């Protein structure tokens, strides 16, 4: 088992690279699908309802005990939703700009898949050398790469709204673009304090995600950088267009927003893209502020074998599941902001707070020489 895991993680042959890619896509699609189920079940729980509980399939029903549990619990609902999107009639409206209309869902999903290539879920030690558990090995500028590529997802929103040739989708696209610019600044400034703390004397890889996690083997960054963590957390909600910052798809005033003209599998791609970006945002917060694959503050994951690596991966995914639930919890707790309020929060609150927080840490490091 350990030899197979080592070959899968470290072998550079195209077969192993393709296998890692397929595993990554499977993980992303599974997390996205079950995030939808989590959203539906958690919202039902918050509202005193039951949620999906009657999904049936003849291949599942015959399994003694387990089949009944899976059907009544709604655990095969994601598969049913995916098949429904796949087999629905995929209409192409006559008034849209067809090439860009078809391209938009792909452009929205592609950055999420590309960024997840660089996302480390843990580390593995082989022959005295540590490797990141990810599709590619850890890069010195991993954080910058993830920020740069993940922000390209807004092009999918912009293309969808513009190509629809309709008023409300276009307004949703404009809102999405303005919102990303507004909150990307605050998000970038908020993590500079983490980079400063990680790039101290003797630390040459301050933008490496593995190095940032290693620096949290004692106390997590959320304890030393609470303001930066709060700004980054709020910015994640705005970047992923999640409630209460879901201005690009606000159904109360834009019908359905940028994807009003979409249906069938194209709409499903937008859905998967949104949850993929939720996974990216949550993972970045976990890696930079919540210790990554370390189990608890001041309790780092110890050991170098497969057991320690799997324990670290399990700790990372446990934190990820909590964050996905947190996204749902916030959606069904806080009312949606108005568009002017969203812009005011981004430019007049978060950006000044992020700048002030950065200046405070600059002064602290300059006066004390500490990291």
Q: Rounded to two decimals, what is the model's pTM?
A: 0.86
Confidence class for position 83, pLDDT limits 50, 70, 90: confident
Q: What is the pLDDT of residues 206-222, one digit of tens each?
A: 677 888 888 887 788 89
Domain residue limits, the chain: 2-51+88-368, 53-83
Q: What is the pLDDT of residue 15?
A: 65
**What average pLDDT does this structure show over 13-24?**
69
Q: What is the pLDDT of residue 18?
A: 72
Per-residue pLDDT at 20 exceeds 80: no
Per-residue pLDDT at 173 exceeds 80: yes
Higher pLDDT, 30 or 356: 356
* 3-state SS string for the chain: CHHHHHHHHHCCCHHHHHHHHHHHHHHHHHHHHHHHHHHHHHHHHHHCCCCCCCCCCHHHHCCCCHHHHHHHCCCCHHHHHHHHHHHCCCCCCCCCCHHHHHHHHHHHHHHHHHHHHHCCCCEEEECCEEEECCCCCCCCCHHHHHHHHHHHHHHHHHHHHHHCCCHHHHHHHHHHHHHHHHHHHHHHHHHHHHHHHHCCCCCCCCCCHHHHHHCCCCCCHHHHCHHHHHHHHHHHHHHCCCCCCCHHHCHHHHCCHHHCCCCHHHHHHHHHHHHHHHHHHHHHHHHHHCCCCCCECCECCCCCCHHHHHHHHHHHHHHHHHHHHHHHHHHCCCCCCCHHHHHHHHHHHHHHHHHHHHHHHHHHHHHHCCC
Q: What is the pLDDT of residue 300?
A: 64
Q: What is the pLDDT of residue 124?
A: 77
Higher pLDDT, 330 or 3: 330
Q: What is the pLDDT of residue 353?
A: 94
Confidence class for position 348, pLDDT limits 50, 70, 90: very high
| 81-90, 193-202, 260-269, 329-338, range with the lowest pLDDT | 193-202
Q: What is the pLDDT of residues 294-345, one digit of tens each?
A: 887 877 665 566 777 788 888 888 999 898 899 889 988 888 888 889 899 9
Please list, in sequence order, all residues whose beta carbon lies within 8 angstroms of the beta carbon of residue 21, skipping any fewer than 6 positions away.
135
Higher pLDDT, 327 or 60: 327
Per-residue pLDDT at 154 exceeds 80: yes
Q: What is the pLDDT of residue 73?
A: 66
Confidence class for position 227, pLDDT limits 50, 70, 90: very high
Per-residue pLDDT at 58 exceeds 70: no
**What average pLDDT does this structure show over 182-191?**
89
| 2-11, 73-82, 180-189, range with the lowest pLDDT | 2-11
**What average pLDDT does this structure show over 340-354?**
91
Q: What is the pLDDT of residues 97-149, one digit of tens each?
A: 888 888 888 888 888 888 887 788 877 776 667 777 777 766 677 778 888 88
Q: What is the pLDDT of residue 9?
A: 58
Per-residue pLDDT at 41 exceeds 70: yes
**What average pLDDT does this structure show over 71-75?**
68
Q: What is the pLDDT of residue 228?
A: 92
Higher pLDDT, 199 or 252: 252
Q: What is the pLDDT of residue 293?
A: 85
Per-residue pLDDT at 282 exceeds 80: yes
Q: What is the pLDDT of residue 229?
A: 92
């Amino acid at each position: 088992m350990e030899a197979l895991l080592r070959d899968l993680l470290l072998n550079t042959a195209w077969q192993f690279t393709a296998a890692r890619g397929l595993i990554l896509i499977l993980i992303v699609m599974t997390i996205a699908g079950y995030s939808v189920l989590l959203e539906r079940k958690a919202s039902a729980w918050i509202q005193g309802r039951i949620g999906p509980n009657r999904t049936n399939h003849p291949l599942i029903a015959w399994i003694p005990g387990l089949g009944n549990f899976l059907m009544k619990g709604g655990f095969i609902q994601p598969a049913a939703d995916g098949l429904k999107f796949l087999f629905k009639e995929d209409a192409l409206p006559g008034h849209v700009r067809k090439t860009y209309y078809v391209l938009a869902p792909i452009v929205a999903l592609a950055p999420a898949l590309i960024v997840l290539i660089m996302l480390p879920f843990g580390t593995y030690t082989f022959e005295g050398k540590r490797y990141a558990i990810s599709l590619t090995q850890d890069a010195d500028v991993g954080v910058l790469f993830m920020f740069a590529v993940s922000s390209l997802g807004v092009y999918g929103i912009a293309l969808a709204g513009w190509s629809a040739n309709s008023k409300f989708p276009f307004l949703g696209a404009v809102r999405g673009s303005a919102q990303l610019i507004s909150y990307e600044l605050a998000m970038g400034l908020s993590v500079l304090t983490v980079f400063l703390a990680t790039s101290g004397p003797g630390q040459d890889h301050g933008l490496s995600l593995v190095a940032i996690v290693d620096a949290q083997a004692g106390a997590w960054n959320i304890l030393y950088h609470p303001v930066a963590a709060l700004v980054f957390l709020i910015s994640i909600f705005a970047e992923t267009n999640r409630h209460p910052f879901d201005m690009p798809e606000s159904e109360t005033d834009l019908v359905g927003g940028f994807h009003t003209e979409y249906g069938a599998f194209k709409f499903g791609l937008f859905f998967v893209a949104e949850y993929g970006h939720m996974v990216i945002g949550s993972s970045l917060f976990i890696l930079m502020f919540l210790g990554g694959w370390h189990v608890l503050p001041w309790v780092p994951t110890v050991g170098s074998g497969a057991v320690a690596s799997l324990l670290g991966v399990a700790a990372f995914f446990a934190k990820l599941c909590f964050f996905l639930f947190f996204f749902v919890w916030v959606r069904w707790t806080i009312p949606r902001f108005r568009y002017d309020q969203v812009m005011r929060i981004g430019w007049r609150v978060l950006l000044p707070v992020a700048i002030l927080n950065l200046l405070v840490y600059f002064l602290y490091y300059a006066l004390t020489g500490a990291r």
